[in-house]
Chains A and B, each alone.
Chain A
Amino acid sequence: MVLKKDKYVRRDIISSLFFILLGLFVIYFSFRMSIWKNSVPHEGFIPLVLGTFMSGLGIGLLVFSTVRNKIKGNMGDSSASDGKKDLIEIVKSQIIEEDTSSGEEKVDLKRLYKYLVAILLYVILLERLGYIMTTGLFYMAIVKFVEKKGYFYSLLITLAVVSLSFLLFSTLLRVPLPPGILKYLGG
């Protein structure tokens, strides 16, 4: 019987593979450092131990996710033994707990992607355009185009946030914010 993996199992398998690889990566680089010399642990000792643990835990998660998926498939099967049902209870309740509530919730991925793009643009433009311009554009874009508020409302909020945050950080807390293109205007 081919078992269809639910989204939690799929995510667990992906994350377990990530952690296994990360652990192996850490182990590899630990061996390039000094681990133990003259009965003294050196800089590579703790990373080696942690990398080993990381891979081991990744394998553990992979095994439990697979076991959970298999037993879950058997749960609908009335012939599944009590022992197996018992095992899934343990795996589910003690090792990997599902967030069942989130399954019913509506998810708006579009809004998330828009936020990610806005963050990326902020990072790229901060030095080039300067704090005031970038923050103004960022805030306006989020409130108007991501959160879909009216033009007047978005503009008002943006102006308030930009001026108050500039006053707070630049004037009161003396954080040297990037001037960007405004430095040319100021000569």
Chain B
Amino acid sequence: MGFLDNLLIGFSISLTQTNLLYCFIGVFLGTVIGVLPGLGPTATIAILLPVTFKLDITSAIIMLSGIYYGSQYGGTITSVLVNIPGEAASVVTCFDGYQMARKGRAGAALGIAAFGSFIGGTFGIIGLSTLTFLSSIALLVGPLEYSALMFLGCSLVIYFSSKSLLKGLMMGVLGFLLSTIGMDSITAVERFTFGSLSLIEGINVAILAMGLFGIGEVLYLAEKEKERERADILNVSTSFFSLLPNRRDWKDSSLPIARGSLLGFLLGILPGGGAVISSFISYGMEKRISKNPEKFGKGAIEGVAGPETANNAASQGAFIPLLLLGIPPNVVAALILAAFMIHGVTPGPLFLIEKPNLFWGIVTSMYIGNIMLLILNVPLIKVFVQILLVPYSVLSPLILLFCFIGAYSINNNPMDVLILAIFGIAGYLMRKFQFEPGPLMLTFVIGPIFEKSLRQAILIGSANPQIFISRPIAIIFFAIAMYLYLSPLIRYFIRKHKVKAAI
């Protein structure tokens, strides 16, 4: 079947009334949580995971994906109007977006960000639609290469997303350990259940995610004074026509948008790259190649257009390793992978062959979602700004409530609510002790797949260590990962050697 046929099948699925509704709910919620500082796509997807249990898998994934890429749009609004990034990927937008708003050009900044996001997002989806051959390449590799690739993917995420490499690694190991609780998938022997029936099936991913990201975040914010204060919103015109960039804006932004699309997409594919890094790199690149770098930080539209395009292209690019290789390149993608697995579907090299309708349904829903976001964001920015006025005193207990009901609804068991509260306290302590829960969640989700592949590889190689030597691709992946972990020490010894040589 050709590319166009696949797209048509996909649209026939994504354009059904139900899927359109869930796509809208996803992108709308995504924009809302993108606007709200402190509540990101990770917490929102975690809170909504139990809701997806009862949904059809296509609708569920369409909605969760919409939240992810929709949040990139919403994050811009607060960056420009309040100088507070609603999302980590919108931090750089504060530099020039807020300055533009102070000069009375908020409309142009928000407008170019929305159009840039649309173009970057669409570029990412086209890339996703055309790079499906990657899954056929992935089919050629064995379980050892697959586990090595997963190991490298996790290592990259830990390396790039953790403030402390050591602590990130500890969280990664802990997540993997938690994933071993329950019945072993190969020998069917119980591990760390201690006779508890509710632990035989392992820890529920939704309860863990809601506890760590939902309740943990609320508790952490409960003790913070500064973060709870609502910032002043710049009183600027956000009427429809003021949001349309003029000819000069388009001229200045067209090349940054083009570069941001390509850069964001490429970085989005790489594990650990993602929206945050791509927006920073895009900003740095635009500043470096600009004829007037002194304009940056004072309201240069290129400083808004490039990063905003890049972070959206990256969030779409992240679906390539997730859907085609089964490897989530970041924590949000790991939660979407968890939603797939809840429904008994594992994305990966065989996903496109086994579930083509689901794959193309999700991909085409992204085209629709991006158009919805453009329509929502340009004329309705004023409405979204009002969301910033919702006080934490109302929002915090609401998040807790959603988590409680979500946990209860999984098995109608109050024990699950207790487990949720325990994970919530653990999430709070992690933040307090400066451990990021992201790597834990990632390894918790892909831990069982990694373990299965690794044990299969050892079995195939009859436990002969030579199997590790005879597979060069796996060795390269493992070696890069080991270099990442040892790089601080390697750099230290190189520096020490240089100092000694100088003396």
Q: How far is the CA of A87 from the CA of B492 in the complex (A)?
A: 8
A125: shortest Cβ distance to chain B, in Å? 10
| Contact between B496 and A86, CB atoms less than 8 A apart | yes
Q: For window 465-503 of chain B, which residues contact chain A by CB distance below 8 Å? A: 487-488, 491-492, 495-496, 499
Q: Does B335 contact A (CB under 8 A)?
A: no
Residues of A close to B5: CB separation below 8 A: none
Q: Given A90-B495, A107-B223, A142-B393, output 6 extra A-B contacts at Cβ < 8 Å.
A: A54-B173, A90-B492, A94-B488, A123-B418, A139-B397, A147-B392
| Contact between A41 and B455, CB atoms less than 8 A apart | yes
Q: How far is the CA of A51 from the CA of B394 in the complex (A)?
A: 42
Give B residues with C-beta under 8 Å from A. 51, 54, 163-167, 169-170, 173-174, 176-177, 180, 184, 186-187, 189, 191-192, 215, 218-219, 222-226, 391-394, 396-398, 400-401, 404-405, 408-409, 412, 414, 417-418, 421, 424-425, 428, 432-435, 451, 454-455, 458-459, 462-463, 487-488, 491-492, 495-496, 499
Q: How far is the CA of A142 from the CA of B400 in the complex (A)?
A: 11
Residues of A close to B192: CB separation below 8 A: 26, 29, 47
Partner of B167, one of A96, A157, A173: A96
Which residue of chain A has the shortest Cβ distance to B488 in the bound complex?
A94
| Contact between B218 and A115, CB atoms less than 8 A apart | yes
Residue of A33, A61, A175 with most partner-chain B CB within 10 A: A175
Q: How far is the CA of A178 from the CA of B394 in the complex (A)?
A: 24
| Contact between B405 and A169, CB atoms less than 8 A apart | yes
Which residue of chain A has the shortest Cβ distance to B174 in the bound complex?
A54
6 contacts between A and B (CB under 8 A): A42-B187, A43-B189, A47-B180, A95-B165, A119-B215, A123-B417
Residues of A close to B215: CB separation below 8 A: 119
Q: Does A120 contact B (CB under 8 A)?
A: yes
Q: How far is the CA of A11 from the CA of B417 in the complex (A)?
A: 28
Which residue of chain A has the shortest Cβ distance to B428 in the bound complex?
A112
Q: For window 40-96 of chain A, which residues contact chain B by CB distance below 8 Å? A: 40-47, 50-51, 53-54, 57-58, 60-61, 64, 82-83, 86-87, 90, 94-96
Residues of A close to B177: CB separation below 8 A: 26, 47, 50-51, 54
**With A54-B177, A95-B164, A112-B223 as given contacts, are A177 and B189 in contact (CB-CB < 8 Å)?**
no
Interface digits, A1-44 against B, CB 8 Å rule (1 contact, 0 not)? 00000001001101100010010001001000110100111111
Q: Does A126 contact B (CB under 8 A)?
A: yes
Q: How far is the CA of A176 from the CA of B413 in the complex (A)?
A: 10
Q: How far is the CA of A46 from the CA of B177 in the complex (A)?
A: 8
**With A47-B192, A95-B488, A165-B401 as given contacts, are A123 and B166 in contact (CB-CB < 8 Å)?**
no
Residues of B close to A109: CB separation below 8 A: 223
A68: shortest Cβ distance to chain B, in Å? 11
Residues of A close to B400: CB separation below 8 A: 115, 119, 122, 138, 142
| Contact between A105 and B226, CB atoms less than 8 A apart | yes
**With A43-B186, A90-B491, A147-B393 as given contacts, are A173 and B223 in contact (CB-CB < 8 Å)?**
no
Q: How far is the CA of A53 from the CA of B215 in the complex (A)?
A: 29
Residue of A98, A106, A147 with most partner-chain B CB within 10 A: A147
Q: Does A116 contact B (CB under 8 A)?
A: yes
